[in-house]
Structures are given as structure tokens and as C-alpha cells.
């Protein structure tokens, strides 16, 4: 019997192993892939994410450098730093950790990154190439979701895919990837009327709206594949009990930590309906960092004419 839970950790481990082999080949040719991360401000979650990215890249044999700037850093100084990284031949990937402080123009900062080093896949050039079906560096979370579907042998071609959420980071690029994989794609958002009627048409349903437990059983066609991109820290005991009824282990974690993680999907109620489903945590999250590593190596290969 097929395992219902889609294990993002397992697939991420496979991707990292492949990346390590590619890094070893580059090292054998005298190339050390390097990822530079720009962290502006002191957001606790961002610090954790940046630290994990640095640790994973170094485990895989790459060099990682973090540039930490205070929140009050002027736009000119940030852009000057990015210009320097663009010009540095040793730097293969540049990542600006989001969110940036509210006073900064995020688009202006991201647009300054050399598209060949844009390992987040957010630069308009890379977005345009994806739109045209000529992907070079693709946003990490959507790319990871496609890898998960393919490696778990979930058919995409000819299937109905519904993506809930239209962000530039997940919803829009994922819709493009699914379209290029020959799915029939519907992109939903906060103004979609009768959301459940639309999502019930999906063979593949992706929840990426950033709203806790938005997707319930009434949104899911029996036998659909459900991908949960959302991640929320739940700190209210009543909400934990409502979302995870009878889950003693989850409640124990809440008692110990004061919070648990949950997604955009009401997992306890959707899991019995779905054919396959990603958990939170352990689903999409690990894939994002794995694909960042893959993008960094791909950037190193492309910049030197070594890509296969």
C-alpha cells in the first residue's frame, strides 16, 4: 500500500546527496561553489533560516558567507554591497533574506542582483525565462514541490492543478512550472468566489495562501494530492486542540515549547480524504533549502560553462 504522507525530508535528503556529488565534481575542477547571504535587520526567524542555509551549504562542501547589516542600513549601502558581490568572480549565488525592513524597497534590492547569481529565482530575468518555458534559476519552494511530485511518481501531465495563493515567491512560479509540466492550472486568491467549488476540481491541490487551516475537507476532492506550503506557529491551546484532536504527541510538544507548527491545510480533517498529503513540518519546508543548494551549484556550473 502506498504511504499517504509525502515525505519532504526524504526527498530533500536525495536532492542534497545529488548536490554533494555535483559539488565534488566542481571541486575536482578547482571550483568551490560559494553562496553569499545578505541579512538586514534582526528578525529572529530570518536569523534561524540564514543559519540553517549556511550549515547545509558547508556540509555539502560549499563556501557560505553571511553579510549582516543593521536594520537602519541605507538603501545605497545595501545596493553597493550587492554590486560588489555581483562583480566578485568567487561568488556564485547571492541571496537577500526576506522580509527586508519595511523602509526598504524589496523589488529594488532584488532587481540589483545579477540574474546569473540569483539563486532565489526572483529576478525579473529569471521570472521571464520561467514564463517562456526556459527556466534557468527557479524559485526554490516551487522547484522543490515539482521535485517532490516527480520523485513520488505523482502524475502531472493532463491533471487538474489548483494553486491557492498568488505570491511571486510560490503561487505564480509554481503555476508556471505545473503549466509547463502539462497540467491544467487554476490560480486562486483572496477574491476567488466559492473557493471550495474550485479546489474540489483539483487532482493536485497546493495551499500557499498564508492562512492557517484555510483548506478543510470540504475543499478537497476524495483522492486528490494535497501540498501544504503554509507554516504557522500556533501558540493558543484551544486552537491546537481544535486542529489536532486526540493528538497527544502534538499536545505534549505544545506543553513543552508553548507552540506547535501547522499549515494552510487542516491536516487532521483533510488527511482522511486525500490520496497523498504533505505534513507540516516535514513536508515542503526541507525541500526549499535543498533546492537553494541545487540552484547555487547550477549557478556555479552555468557561469563556467559546466552545466550538463
Would 77 be classed as within a structural domain?
A: yes
The CATH number assigned to the domain holding 105 equals 3.40.50.10860
Is the residue at 154 inside a domain? yes
Question: What pLDDT does 306 receive?
Answer: 86
260 plus 204 within the same structural domain:
yes
Does residue 261 lie in a domain region?
yes
pLDDT, mean of residues 254-283 = 96
Tens digits of residue pLDDT in 238-255: 999 999 999 999 999 999
Could you confirm whether 53 is annotated as catalytic?
yes
Task: Check whether residue 151 and residue 49 sit in a common domain.
Answer: no
Q: What are the CA-CA distances from residue 295 to residues 150, 164, 199 (Å)? A: 18, 25, 31
Q: Which of 36, 97, 203, 228 is catalytic?
A: 97
Indicate the number of domains in the chain.
2
Q: Which of 116, 131, 152 is the endpoint of a domain?
A: 116
**Within-domain flag for 213:** yes
Question: Looking at residues 130-159, what average pLDDT do you find?
Answer: 97
Q: pLDDT tens digit string along 147-196?
A: 999 999 999 999 999 999 999 999 999 999 999 999 999 999 989 999 99
E strands of the chain, at which residues? 34-40, 63-69, 93-96, 160-164, 184-188, 204-207, 225-228, 232-234, 260-262, 276-277
Does the pLDDT value for residue 256 go beyond 90?
yes
Residue 45 has pLDDT above 90, yes or no: no
Residue 292 forms part of a structural domain:
no
Residue 144 confidence (pLDDT) above 90: yes
CATH number at residue 262: 3.40.50.720
Residue 124 has pLDDT above 80, yes or no: yes
Catalytic, 120? Answer yes
Q: Is residue 134 part of a domain?
A: no
Same-domain pairing of 97 and 160: no
Q: Are residues 103 and 154 in the same domain?
A: no
41 and 149 both lie in a single domain: no
Task: Give me the sheet containing 225-228, strands edge to edge.
Answer: 184-188, 160-164, 204-207, 225-228, 276-277
Average pLDDT, the chain: 96
Calculate what percentage of the chain has a pLDDT beyond 90.
94
Instruction: Say what the pLDDT of residue 49 is.
Output: 87
Catalytic pick among 36, 92, 114, 120: 120
Name the residue with higher pLDDT: 116 or 47.
116
Domain, as residue range, for 267: 140-287
186-195 contact pairs (CB < 8 A, 24+)? 186/160, 186/161, 186/162, 187/162, 187/163, 188/162, 188/163, 188/164, 189/164, 189/165, 192/164, 195/164, 195/219
- Shared domain check, 150 and 37: no
Are residues 147 and 95 part of one domain? no
pLDDT given at position 1: 43
Written as one string, the DSSP assignment of 174-235 is HHHHHHHTT-EEEEE-TT-TTHHHHHTT-SEEEE-S--TT-B-GGG--TT-EEEE---EEE-
Q: Are residues 72 and 165 in the same domain?
A: no
Domain identity same for 55 and 160: no
Clarify whether residues 79 and 45 are in a common domain: yes
Examine the pLDDT at 278 and tell me if it is beyond 70. Answer: yes
At residue 11, does pLDDT exceed 80? yes
Is residue 225 a part of any domain in this protein? yes
For position 2, what pLDDT does the model report? 61
Asked if residue 3 has pLDDT above 80, the reply is: no
Which residues are CB-neighbours of 257 under 8 A, at least 6 positions away? none
Between CA 213 and CA 261 the distance in angstroms is 11
Q: Do residues 275 and 187 share a domain?
A: yes
Same domain flag for 106 and 169: no
Q: What is the pLDDT of residue 44?
A: 85
Q: Is residue 89 domain-resident?
A: yes
Amino acid at each position: 500500500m502506498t504511504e499517504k504522507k509525502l515525505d519532504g525530508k526524504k526527498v530533500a535528503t536525495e536532492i542534497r546527496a545529488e548536490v554533494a556529488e555535483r559539488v565534488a565534481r566542481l571541486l575536482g575542477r578547482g571550483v568551490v561553489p560559494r553562496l553569499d547571504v545578505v541579512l538586514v535587520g534582526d528578525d529572529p526567524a530570518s536569523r534561524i533560516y540564514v543559519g540553517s542555509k549556511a550549515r547545509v551549504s558547508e556540509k555539502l562542501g560549499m563556501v557560505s558567507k553571511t553579510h549582516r547589516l543593521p536594520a537602519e542600513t541605507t538603501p545605497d549601502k545595501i545596493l553597493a554591497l550587492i554590486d560588489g558581490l555581483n562583480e566578485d568572480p568567487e561568488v556564485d549565488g547571492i541571496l537577500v533574506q526576506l522580509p527586508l525592513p519595511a523602509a526598504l524597497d524589496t523589488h529594488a534590492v532584488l532587481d540589483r542582483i545579477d540574474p546569473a547569481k540569483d539563486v532565489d529565482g526572483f529576478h525579473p530575468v529569471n521570472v521571464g525565462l520561467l514564463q517562456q518555458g526556459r527556466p534557468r534559476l527557479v524559485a526554490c519552494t516551487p522547484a522543490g514541490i515539482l521535485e517532490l511530485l516527480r520523485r513520488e511518481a505523482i502524475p502531472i501531465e493532463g491533471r487538474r492543478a489548483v494553486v491557492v495563493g498568488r505570491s511571486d515567491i510560490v503561487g505564480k512560479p509554481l503555476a508556471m512550472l505545473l503549466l509547463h509540466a502539462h497540467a491544467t492550472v487554476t490560480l486562486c486568491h483572496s477574491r476567488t468566489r466559492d473557493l471550495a467549488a474550485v479546489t474540489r476540481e483539483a487532482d493536485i491541490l497546493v495551499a500557499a495562501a498564508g492562512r492557517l487551516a484555510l483548506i478543510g475537507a470540504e475543499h478537497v476532492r476524495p483522492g486528490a494530492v494535497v501540498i501544504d506550503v503554509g507554516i504557522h506557529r500556533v501558540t493558543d491551546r484551544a486552537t491546537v486542540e481544535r486542529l489536532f484532536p486526540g493528538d497527544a504527541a502534538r499536545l505534549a510538544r505544545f506543553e513543552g515549547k508553548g507552540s506547535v507548527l501547522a499549515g494552510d491545510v487542516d491536516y487532521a480533517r483533510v488527511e482522511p480524504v486525500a490520496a497523498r498529503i504533505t505534513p507540516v513540518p516535514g513536508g515542503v519546508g526541507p525541500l526549499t533549502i535543498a533546492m537553494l543548494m541545487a540552484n547555487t551549484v547550477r549557478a556555479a556550473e552555468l557561469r563556467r560553462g559546466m552545466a550538463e
